Structure formats: C-alpha cells, structure tokens
Amino acid sequence: MGQIAWRLQGKDYRGVDLPGGSGVFRRLGPLWGIGVALGDGLKGVLVALLAQGHPSLLPWMGLAVVLGHNWPIFFRFYGGGGLATSLGFLLWVDRPATLVGLGVTLGVAGLYWALYWRIHRNIPYPLPFGAIFGFLAYLVFSRGAPQAFLAGLLLAGAVFLKSLQFLLSVYSKP
C-alpha cells in the first residue's frame, strides 16, 4: 500500500524509509500513513478470514501475507515492516491476546519515544522497538489453538527479519 501511496504522490523513498504505514506517515503525513496502515491491516484480516476454514493452514497463510507484504515481488522485494498486516491478521485469530500485545507495543513505544528516541533521534523507530515486546506479550497471553500461537511466532519472526534487514541497510551506509 505504501509503494502505491508514494507513486500517487510522485515520490520514491526506497532506501530512506519503509513503505508501510509508519514510513508513509513520516514521509507523506498522517492522512496517508493512517490510510496505508488501515489498508495493510485489512489485508491481514482478509487472509485470516480466508484461512478460517483451514486451521492447519492458518499460521502459514499468516506468514505468507506478511512475507508478501515485507518483500513484495511487484515492488522489487521492497515492502513495509509487516506490523499493520500482522496486527490485522492476529486480531482476527486471537483478539484478546492481540489487544494485550497492542497495548504493550504502544506502551513500550511511548516510553521509548519519551525517554530516548525523542532526544537522540536514532533508530530503531519506536513502534518496531515496542513491537518486540508486543509480540512477546501476544505469545504469553495467546490461549487459543496451537495454530494461533504458531501464527504469532511466525509473524514475529518475519517482522523481526524485516526490521533487521532495515537496520543493517541503514547502519551499513557510509
């Protein structure tokens, strides 16, 4: 969704920021960022709905949608970070655990922003940093089927890999 928003605005921020909701928010403003995040989240919900009748495929379909979001073929494998897509998917799979994870994510991100990032303006950005703890909270509080736990674990891994890739690309620049 972010790549589309950038193209509609005639801009390309590849290598500068991720084309997910938060990256678009930073580059194009809140209206575009919120729109992209909602679209990415709905993409996750749609896949969760499609997976509803196939419990054994549920974690793998969640992983597929996040991998496709993070490394989209049609945008030369340059996609978003997967947070909104994961949130949409997991909200449908295990709403109570996801809401706890979202609360932890926002709380940690807010503290990190207020105590460190606001002053130093260094990466990692607050939301991906908070998401580390949010995914852990989801895994701790996930009481649903084993497929819900596995889905959370796989999605956390995909988001972590994308965050690591972004951090390595930023820190490897001269």
> Which of 82, 89, 84 shows the shortest CA–CA distance to 50?
89
Task: Identify the band that residue 19 occupies on the pLDDT scale cut at 50, 70 and 90.
Answer: confident
The count of structural domains within the chain is 1
Cα–Cα distance list, 133 to 10, 72, 117, 160 (Å): 36, 26, 17, 12
CA–CA separation, 140 and 28 (whole Å)? 36
pLDDT one-digit tens code per residue, 3-14: 566 555 666 666
pLDDT one-digit tens code per residue, 42-66: 999 999 999 988 889 999 999 999 9
pTM for this entry: 0.87
Going by the DSSP 8-state scheme, the letter that residue 125 receives in this structure is P
Please provide residue 75's backbone torsions phi and psi, each rounded to the nearest 5 degrees.
-120, 35
Q: For the residues of 26-77, what is the DSSP string, one character each?
A: HHH-HHHHHHHHHHHHHHHHHHHHHHTT-TTTHHHHHHHHHHHHHS-GGGTT
What is the domain range of residue 92?
A: 2-171
Q: What is the pLDDT of residue 61?
A: 97
Q: What is the pLDDT of residue 122?
A: 67
